[in-house]
Amino acid sequence: MGIDITSFYIYRWRYYLGYGLIALLLIGLLIFAGLYTPGGLSTQEMDIVVKTSGLDLTSITSLAITNLPFHMLQLASINLFGVTEFSIKLPSLVLALISAVGLILLLQRWFKPNIAVLASIIAITTGQFLFIAQNGTPGILYVLWSVCLLLLGTLIAKKVKYQMLWQILFFVVAALSLYTPLSIYALIALAVATLLHPHLRFIVRQMPKAPIIFAALLGVIIALPLILGILRTPELGLTILGIPTTWPNILANVMLLSQQYVGFSLQSTTGLMTPVFGLGSMLIIVFGVYKLIRTRESTQSYLIIIWLICLIPILVTNPNFTSVTFLPLVLLLATGLESLLGYWYRLFPLNPYARLAGLIPLVVLVGVLVLSGLERYVYGYHYDPYTVANFSQDLSLLPKNTQHLVVTNDELPFYRVVADHRKGMDVAVTAPLTGTFTVSHDANTTTYPTFKIQRIVTSSASVQADRFYVYKKTN
């Protein structure tokens, strides 16, 4: 008599154990990414803080900016905790947690539980997700909006309980997503798929009209500051659509895109490690594309194909917005995994031992993808000289007792925000005549004859490690 695998305790609870592992892994990775890697602020993060500090919640004209939801969260974080690396990155970490949970729920609805678990583990351990999760810029919104819109749309299409709630949330999220450039194309893909696919058209026709009208009006109210801003400044509308004001170099953009997605042997020269997915993941994504073409009549395939068609020309003109492709690529990754596993099961439809043996190389494959993704992220953002150079630890190195800080004109806007939230500190581009003051590395281009260097604050970098000079008046 053979062994009944289904009687094992660990088999019956395998999915709960899998999702428990995902939860622990996700929380641990977000804490690690937020506090330790890459360990500093990029120029883009500092610029976002300056933009956030200028937000006036009492003026509707001030709300007509891109990525408004992120700026509101970051403003609340800074007001609560001051201007620190943690407070700057906290909104992204929170939104990344929501995005990851939403992604797991979405994969559960679209794929079998085993595929959902494997794809979720691979997705949350990719360098791209971990980077945008800790990056104190609105980059995480590209993942959040697409995940939420697709998840809510799926709940509505499958007529899950509390339909009115899902419909209202869908229009609220849709309105908020309009503030983020390029997010409108996820809505366009959903709308086009609904118009073209007969099953989706049937679902929409069956919906009660009153809740839809109420939800749509609520969405219009939320998007009203953006609408007024576009009417006042049409260039804002071009930014939302991702249409550049000047025609870019298409060939150069295509070369950059190829480096970001398939440049496995090329050196990254920006703050984002490239390629965004490892070689193994990209090969599985190719399998997913093949399966997508084979099953193009399905609702999911319809949506992904239309979505990618919308994004390709936009990416050619905006090659730095790779985050908008994260969810479509994860869905293709899950589709590829499903195709590989399904092919193996079809080879041995009645042999349980062969089916079980087929899981061993699959587990090894997923393990390699996860470990290689984590290795690329940790070592790349710690030791890659071209990548690490894009992040500054100056904010955390700035002495806590600094009263007078001298900086350059370029540094002045950011450190003014820091001074506004640090009691007893002022910032200027010229040194005071008396007392003690601190000078940033870039501003330390002159001598102070009546002062002496009391202390030099250094970083762990091999070059330009002298970050601040503390001067004290001589007697």
Mean pLDDT value of segment 178-200: 88
Position 26 pLDDT exceeds 70:
yes
Position 268 pLDDT exceeds 60:
no
Position 475 pLDDT exceeds 80:
no
pLDDT category, 105, cuts 50, 70, 90? very high
Torsion, Cα 397 399 400 404, to 10 degrees, reads -130
Concatenated DSSP letters of 267-316: PP-SSS-SSSS-HHHHHHHHHHHHHHHHTTTSHHHHHHHHHHHHHHHHHH
pLDDT of residue 167: 92
Rounded to whole angstroms, how far apart are CA atoms 151 and 228? 29
pTM above 0.85, yes or no: yes
Helix (H) and strand (E) counts in the chain: 21, 7
Tens digits of residue pLDDT in 254-264: 888 887 777 66
Position 95 pLDDT exceeds 70:
yes
Percent of the chain with pLDDT over 90: 29
Sign for the CA dihedral angle at 146, 151, 154, 156 comes to negative
Position 211 pLDDT exceeds 50:
yes
* 19-28, 72-81, 390-399, range with greatest mean pLDDT: 72-81
pLDDT of residue 1: 44
Tens digits of residue pLDDT in 384-416: 666 777 788 888 889 888 899 999 999 999 999
Q: Tabulate helix, strand, coil % of the chain (nearest 5).
A: 65, 5, 30
* 6-15, 163-172, 293-302, range with greatest mean pLDDT: 163-172
Instruction: Please report where in the chains the tokens 């659509």 appear, as a residue.
Output: 241
Rounded to whole angstroms, how far apart are CA atoms 54 and 56? 6
Mean pLDDT value of segment 309-326: 86
Rounded to whole angstroms, how far apart are CA atoms 166 and 350? 41
Instruction: Please report where in the chains the tokens 């089916």 appear, as a residue.
Output: 355
User: Over the chain, what is the mean pLDDT?
Assistant: 84
Position 376 pLDDT exceeds 80:
no
Q: Tell me the angle at which helices 113-124 and 352-383 cross, rounded to the nearest 10 degrees.
A: 20
Task: Pick the range with the lowest mean pLDDT from 81-95, 357-371, 396-410, 425-439.
Answer: 357-371
Tens digits of residue pLDDT in 106-126: 999 998 888 888 888 888 888
Q: Give the C-alpha distances (Å, rounded to integers) separating 89 from 35, 47, 70, 164.
A: 9, 13, 11, 34
pLDDT of residue 460: 78
Rounded to whole angstroms, how far apart are CA atoms 409 and 362? 55
Strand 426-428 relative to strand 41-42: parallel, antiparallel, unpaired? unpaired
Q: Residue 213, Cβ neighbours under 10 Å: how many?
A: 10
Tens digits of residue pLDDT in 335-371: 998 888 877 777 766 666 666 666 777 778 888 888 8
What is the separation of C-alpha 44 from the centre of its chain, rounded to a whole number of angstroms?
Answer: 14
Position 237 pLDDT exceeds 80:
yes
Rounded to whole angstroms, how far apart are CA atoms 44 and 25? 28
Mean pLDDT value of segment 13-29: 76
Tens digits of residue pLDDT in 43-67: 899 999 999 998 888 888 888 888 9
Tens digits of residue pLDDT in 116-175: 888 888 888 888 888 888 888 999 999 999 999 999 999 998 888 888 999 999 999 999
Concatenated DSSP letters of 354-390: HHHHHHHHHHHHHHHHHHHHHHHHHHHHHH-HHHHTT
Q: Residue 136, Cβ neighbours under 10 Å: how many?
A: 27
pLDDT category, 274, cuts 50, 70, 90? low
Mean pLDDT value of segment 220-230: 92
pLDDT of residue 266: 61
266 three-class SS: coil
pLDDT of residue 160: 83
Rounded to whole angstroms, how far apart are CA atoms 263 and 257? 9
